[in-house]
Amino acid sequence: MNISILSPTGEIYQGKITSVQLPGTTGLFEVLANHAPMVAALGQGTGRIINTDGKKMAFTIEGGFVEVLKNEVSLLVRGYQAK
Amino acid sequence: MANLKEVRERIKSVIGTQQITKAMKMVSAAKLRKAQNAIVQMRPYSVKLSQILSNIMANLEGDAGGAYGVQREIKTACVVVVTSSRGLCGAFNTNIIKSAVATIDSELSEVRKNGKLTILCIGKKGYDFFRKRYKDCTIISDYVMTYNDPSFDNVAIASQSVMDEFVAAKYDLVTISYGRFKNAAMQFAETEQFLPVKRLEATASKTKSDYIFEPSKEQLLKTLIPNILQTQFQKCVLDTIASEHGARMTAMDKATENAEGLLIDLRINYNKARQEAITKELSEIVGGAAAL
């Protein structure tokens, strides 16, 4: 599935991934391929992405939102910092 | 007829000024590109935000403004004025200030009379204006310098403070005056209502997709709306910055043109004076020769 990480200052990352782990306001959760449509608010914490090559990527955020629709993950973040 | 040396000095100074205005135009052109870029960069974020909002709205009944959409009788108000911090950009700042003043004089004159008007200035030019002439109003100067560092987080501090005051019922109405950017040659000074937000109602959309909302829709909205408002506010600031550089480009281009016109006149004067001096000298020589 595809992910695009957007911040108010521009697009940070776009790519194909197999899974993404995110800090929701109610707890950590993970999105895999063919996830049901979802909108969630994110809190402060660490996000982890595993892309199709098996490469891992981690980052911290201060908050944001995520929308999952038809294997398209749109991540809107505030205070993004690569780890 | 002006004397030769004087005219020569003036020509020199006009050329100097022309070089400065030309350079300023080019600097503004570069800065404009950067400012425009910032607007474009923010677009995907804000578009996605409003998409998410409409998704939630499609699954929700009634109004979504929440605490930010409360309509109260307008007894107190806050006018946000976003201007540039520097001049030399034509009537740009004046137009924004004029637009803000027009709102104050028409809709908010009653509020001002009661001394309940607050003016929040972003950018030095607006602050200088209102500080001197609107002594009966509360002027907030904490965010004047925000204009010089318009990062999202920095601007969010300003917008958040306004939103908090609104929720605390310290303001019943918040308007924002800024320079809307259309293109390099066109900017519009505009005053918009910032708070309360206009009614956000579910547009009769058929795309009622089965979203999982986490946490609940209501909770989501509570965090989403402030984010959208902050983005809106940010856009106003970024627009003003791009407009400022656009306005300065036009102003400096005009100034360079005017200098060129001035130079043509001065050069004609200079040559006339020179010719006159030569003619005078010649006739003196001829006159002297004839006397012999």
CA distance B118 to B174: 9
| Active site (annotated) includes residue B121 | no
Exposure of B81 in the CB half-sphere (CA atoms within 13 A):
34
pLDDT of residue B62: 64
Annotated domain spans of chain B:
28-250
Q: Which residue type does A12 have?
A: I
The answer to whether B70 and B196 have CB atoms below 8 angstroms apart is yes
Average pLDDT of span B199-222: 72
Return the bridge partners of B174, or none. Answer: B78, B195
Q: B152, A78: Cβ pair inside 8 Å?
A: yes
The position carrying tokens 């950590």 is A28
Note the pLDDT of residue B204: 52
**At residue A34, what is the residue type?**
N
* Residue entry with tokens 């006739």: B283
Buried b (16+ CB within 10 A) or exposed e, B118-153: bbbbbbbbbbbbbeeebeebebbeebbebbeebebe
pLDDT at residue B72 above 70? yes
Please report which confidence band the pLDDT of residue B64 belongs to, taking 50, 70 and 90 as the band edges. Answer: low
Task: Give residue for tokens 């956000």.
Answer: B200
Q: How far apart are CA B237 and CA B122, in angstroms?
A: 8
Tens-place pLDDT, residues B154-205: 999 999 999 999 999 999 999 999 999 998 888 999 999 998 887 666 555 5
Q: Name the residue of chain B whose CA is nearest to A24's CA.
A: B214
Residue B200 has a pLDDT of 62
Question: Sorting pLDDT into bands at 50, 70 and 90, what band is B78?
Answer: very high
Q: What domains, with CATH codes, occur in chain A?
A: 2-82 (2.60.15.10)
B226-257: pLDDT as tens digits: 888 999 999 999 999 999 999 999 999 999 99
Mark yes or no for CB contact B212/A36 under 8 Å.
yes
Catalytic hit among B78, B89, B121, B137: B89
Model confidence at B50, in pLDDT bands (50, 70, 90)? confident
Burial-class residue B16 by CB neighbours within 10 Å (0-12, 13-18, 19+). Answer: exposed
Instruction: Please give the DSSP secondary-structure letter assigned to residue A35.
Output: P
Any A CB within 8 A of B151 CB = yes
Contact B152 A8 (CB under 8 A): yes
**pLDDT at B112 > cutoff 60:** yes
Whether A8 contacts B231, CB under 8 Å: yes
**Per-residue pLDDT tens for B174-183?**
999 999 999 8
Instruction: Tell whether the model's pLDDT for residue A35 goes beyond 70.
Output: yes
Architecture of the domain spanning B28-250: 3-Layer(aba) Sandwich (3.40)
CA B141-B143-B147 angle, 5° bins: 125
- What residues in A contact B151, CB-CB < 8 Å? 9
ipTM (interface predicted TM): 0.89
Amino acid identity at B244: E
Q: Which residues of A touch B (CB under 8 A)?
A: 4, 6-11, 24-26, 29, 36-41, 63, 65, 67, 69, 74, 76, 78-79
Residue pLDDT, tens place only, B117-136: 999 999 999 999 999 999 99
CB nearest A76 (choices: B45, B210, B215): B45
Average pLDDT, chain B: 90
Residue length of chain A: 83
